[in-house]
Amino acid sequence: MVLVTKKNPITVKVGETVLYGKYSGTELKLEGKDYLIMRESDVLAII
């Protein structure tokens, strides 16, 4: 799930693999699924 707005479009697309720092983002469990919410600036690389 990716939230995109016209004001702040993102460069990461659904299905891409990203590298991020160990303590980046916030873990969230919703309806039995695990999610990691983070700022795009926390993404170190897109593979």
CATH code (residue 38): 2.30.33.40
Tokens linked to 13:
């697309």
How far is CA 41 from its chain centroid?
10
pLDDT band at 3 (very low <50, low <70, confident <90, very high): low
pLDDT in the model for residue 32:
95
pLDDT band at 11 (very low <50, low <70, confident <90, very high): confident
Segment 17-41 mean pLDDT: 92
Listed residue (28, 6, 26) closest to 39, CA to CA: 26
> Which letter does DSSP use for residue 6 in this model?
S
Cα–Cα distance measured from residue 24 to residue 47, given in angstroms and rounded to the nearest whole number: 17
pLDDT in the model for residue 28:
94
pLDDT in the model for residue 6:
63
pLDDT in the model for residue 5:
60
Q: CB-based contacts of 11: which residues, under 8 Å, 6+ apart?
A: 40, 46
Domain that holds residue 5: 1-47
User: How many domains, in total, are found in the chain?
Assistant: 1
Stretch (H or E) spanning 1: none
Segment 14-27 mean pLDDT: 92
